[in-house]
Amino acid sequence: MDERELLEGRLRELSRISYERDIPRHTDFLSLSEQSVFYDMDRRDIASNSVLEGGYEEAERRIVFFLPEYADAASEAEDAISLIKVEPLNLKFSDVLTHRDFLGALMNLGIDRSKTGDIITAKDKTYIFCLREVEELICSELLRVKHTSVRAEAVALSECDIRPELKDMSVNVASERADAVIAAVFKLSRNVSQTLIASESVFSDGRVLRQPSASLKEGARVSVRGHGKFIFGGISGNTKKGRLYVDIRRYV
């Protein structure tokens, strides 16, 4: 049994328990590839209501919540997800800390990646979304990241005030095809764009995008592994030669 089959089995089991016992159940944090497995499943295999939450609107890593009719998705997310704010003890002498630095520090504590969601870094602080079950461990044991001494404390989900920086762009494309748009946004050849799609490295709203000829929906959040993310804003105009201008909001 491969990893996909194991995940499908786990999702079906959590959904069944939620439905039969009339109680909420949820997964750990899922990557985009894992979320795509959930989206691809036959809806008849999902017995209960389900939503995906990651702690904030723009979250990439998300949890699937299986909910009885009486349960509120926002309340269940607040119960399951913690937000840890991490700050250097002395900002003046701190390293420039990256996502990778924090991920490595968490792994050194023995925390599995599935227990943590997005990690959002800025110059003076970092926010780590995690499952409630590892909150205490992170707050008490995360004392150093790289060569920098830090303090970690749990805060309300609403306190996360770092948002991704977006750059507005207008790109010239031959068509609305996904491969054409991706090539234009990231300055790639169409062949490279098509190869990325064929290797299941492109996600649109959490789903694997499998067809190069697929048209992107206005407002779709597109993630291309190894290249970045953008929001597709739709067609904004035409050129005299019949090409299209499309609006893009690219994550910086």
- pLDDT at position 45 over 90: no
Same domain membership, residue 67 and residue 97: no
**pTM of the predicted structure, to 2 decimals:** 0.88
- pLDDT at position 107 over 90: yes
Sheet with 221-224, strands from edge to edge, namely 166-173, 244-251, 228-238, 221-224, 202-204, 207-208
Q: Tokens 């090539």 sit at which residue?
A: 183
- pLDDT at position 48 over 90: no
Question: Rounded to 5, what percent of the chain is helix, strand, coil?
Answer: 35, 35, 30
CATH number, domain at 103? Answer: 3.30.70.330
Same domain membership, residue 65 and residue 86: no
Residues near 48 by Cβ (< 8 Å), separated by ≥ 6?
Answer: 15, 18, 19, 66, 67, 68
Length reported for the chain: 252
Same domain membership, residue 84 and residue 24: no
Q: What percent of the chain has pLDDT over 70?
A: 100
Same domain membership, residue 132 and residue 172: no
Same domain membership, residue 243 and residue 173: yes
The neighbour count for residue 72, using CB atoms within 10 Å, is: 11
Same domain membership, residue 114 and residue 69: no
Same domain membership, residue 152 and residue 95: yes
Confidence class for position 95, pLDDT limits 50, 70, 90? confident
* Domain interval for residue 213: 166-251
Same domain membership, residue 214 and residue 155: no
Average pLDDT over residues 110-121: 96
Same domain membership, residue 121 and residue 182: no
At 118 the pLDDT is 96
Cα 172 to the center of its chain, rounded Å: 28
Average pLDDT over residues 153-157: 97
CATH number, domain at 24? Answer: 3.30.1370
Structure tokens at 120: 């959002």
Please tell me the least confidently modeled range out of 66-70, 74-78, 159-163.
159-163
From the list 161, 157, 153, 150, the residue with the least C-alpha distance to 87 is 150
At 47 the pLDDT is 73
Q: What is the DSSP letter of 215?
A: B
Tally of structural domains, the chain:
3
Q: Measuring CA to CA, how many Å separate 11 from each of 27, 29, 113, 195, 205?
A: 8, 13, 18, 30, 19
Average pLDDT over residues 168-178: 92
Structure tokens at 57: 């609107």
At 1 the pLDDT is 67
Of 117, 134, 159, the domain-final residue? 159
In degrees and rounded to multiples of 5, residue 18 shows phi and psi of: -60, -45
Of 30, 48, 75, the domain-final residue? 75
Same domain membership, residue 244 and residue 172: yes
Please tell me the number of Cα atoms within 13 Å of 102 on its side-chain side: 26
Of 75, 93, 120, the domain-final residue? 75
CATH number, domain at 213? Answer: 3.10.290.10
Dihedral angle sign, alpha carbons of residues 184, 186, 187, 190: negative
Q: Measuring CA to CA, how many Å separate 124 from each of 69, 120, 153, 192?
A: 42, 11, 14, 37
Same domain membership, residue 195 and residue 140: no
Average pLDDT over residues 213-240: 93
Radius of gyration of the chain from Cα atoms? Answer: 20
